[in-house]
Amino acid sequence: MNVKGRSAIVTGGGSGLGAATAQTLADAGAKVAVLDLRLEGAEQTARTIGGLAIECDVGDADSAAAAVAQAREAHGTASILVNCAGIGPGAAVVGKTGPVDLDWFEATVRVNLTGTFNMIRLAAADMMTHDPNEEGERGVIVNTGSTSAYEGQIGQTAYAASKAGVVGMGIALAREFAREGVRVMTISPGPFDTPLFGSMPTNAHQRLLDAAQFPDRAGKPAEYGQLVVSIVENPMLNGESIRLDGAIRMGPR
Ligand SMILES: NC(=O)c1ccc[n+]([C@@H]2O[C@H](COP(=O)([O-])OP(=O)(O)OC[C@H]3O[C@@H](n4cnc5c(N)ncnc54)[C@H](O)[C@@H]3O)[C@@H](O)[C@H]2O)c1
């Protein structure tokens, strides 16, 4: 699908991978709605790219429905959805003071997995109202997994479970939406140079950088955006999770 002239929604667009993706899609000619829980972050990105900022909690049904409607009103029905909103708080499941609060697990799953699903169900229903292009495509959805979906580290149980859920639902969604010409892909990044990665404890941060193979560095957010555009443009990419990680394989810590 050609990006040019398409309406796109990017969640978590106020920072990191989402902000870079909003920029890459705008550079390729898309009209981009930048959704974020933090409106000021969304506004900053929207100002830079000439897009629309919308405050949205992806885990909330009403908030997401209102955001999708606002994007539709401004830019037309979205053909592209990129789910980048995410959180990654670490904790021991059984720590010095006993079992971790259940809230920790539920809060992580609510944003990363439920939030991704919430946006998909709303945006996909909209996409299916499009006339198909010459290839039969009506829309493309790109979700953000993580290498932690495959090699969850100690302290990442909630995060790893949420991201494995995102990876796992990809093929089921791609199969369900096949008849409608809506593709669903997942990008599973290794360490990328964003505020989320920077917020990790220094030693864990350094260990991840030490594990880098080639290139011997963290990913650049623009490289994530570049892959999003490639996925949108390539109709054969569907129902798969692509590791974007420079061959890193994460150890237990
Ligand atoms: N940076 C990495 O190394 C890395 C690696 C693998 C996967 N990821 C994943 O990539 C995605 C983007 O991460 P990032 O590194 O750019 O992080 P980031 O913290 O820079 O950006 C995440 C954005 O999501 C927003 N957000 C959080 N909760 C939200 C909610 N409920 N509704 C709407 N927006 C919400 C935040 O306000 C923030 O702007 C996340 O899903 C993350 O798990 C990141």
Kindly list the catalytic residues: 159
pLDDT value for 142: 99
**Per-residue pLDDT band at 96 (split at 50, 70, 90):** very high
For a mutational test of ligand 1's pocket, the pick from 82, 84, 113, i.e. the residue with the most ligand atoms closer than 8 A to its C-beta, is 84
Indicate whether 206 pLDDT > 90: no
Average pLDDT over residues 125-140: 98
**Is residue 201 predicted with pLDDT exceeding 90?**
no
Looking at the chain, the whole-number percentage of residues with pLDDT higher than 70 is: 100
The CA distance from 121 to 176, in Å, is: 12
Indicate which CATH number applies to the domain containing 19.
Answer: 3.40.50.720
For a mutational test of ligand 1's pocket, the pick from 36, 142, 163, i.e. the residue with the most ligand atoms closer than 8 A to its C-beta, is 36
What's the mean per-residue pLDDT of the chain?
Answer: 97
2, part of any domain: no
- CA dist 4 and 132 (Å) reads 16
Residue 68 lies in a domain: yes
Q: How confident is the model at residue 102 (pLDDT cuts 50, 70, 90)?
A: very high
* pLDDT recorded at residue 200: 81
Please report whether residue 135 resides in a domain: yes
pLDDT at 204: 82
**Cα–Cα distance list, 7 to 11, 22, 130, 132, 156 (Å):** 14, 11, 11, 15, 35
User: Total structural domains in the chain?
Assistant: 1
Is residue 251 in a domain?
no
Q: Whose CA is nearest to atom 17 of ligand 1?
A: 196
For tokens 């169900």, the residue is: 121
Mutate to test the pocket of ligand 1, among 43, 56, 194, 220 (most ligand atoms within 8 A of CB): 194
Domain assignment present for residue 250? The answer is: no
Q: What is the pairing mode between strands 52-55 and 80-83?
A: unpaired
CA-to-CA distance for 19 and 16, rounded, in angstroms? Answer: 5
Distance 117 CA to ligand 1 centre (A): 15
Q: Residue 76: pLDDT above 90? A: yes
pLDDT of residue 147: 97
Structural domain includes residue 111: yes
Contact 154, 100 (CB under 8 A): no
C-beta of residue 219 within 8 angstroms of C-beta of residue 245 = yes
- Ligand 1 atom 14, closest CA: 16
pLDDT, position 49: 98
Query: Does a structural domain hold residue 70?
Result: yes
pTM: 0.98
Pocket of ligand 1 (CB under 6 A): 11-12, 14-18, 36-38, 41, 56-59, 84-88, 111-112, 115, 144, 146, 189, 191-192, 194-197
* Distance in Å, CA 6 to ligand 1 centroid: 24
Task: Provide the pLDDT for residue 184.
Answer: 99
Average pLDDT (132-142) is: 98
- pLDDT given for residue 197 in this prediction: 85
**18 Cα to the center of ligand 1, angstroms:** 7
Atom 36 in ligand 1: which residue has the minimum CA distance?
12
Q: Give pLDDT, residue 205.
A: 84
Q: pLDDT band at 111, cuts 50/70/90?
A: very high
The answer to whether residue 196 scores a pLDDT higher than 90 is no
Q: Give the number of the atom of ligand 1 that is nearest the alpha carbon of residue 88.
A: 43
Which ligand 1 atom sits closest to the C-alpha of 221?
Answer: 16
What range does the domain containing 22 cover?
Answer: 7-244
Residue 249 lies in a domain: no
Mind listing the pLDDT tens digit for each residue in 160-174? 999 999 999 999 999
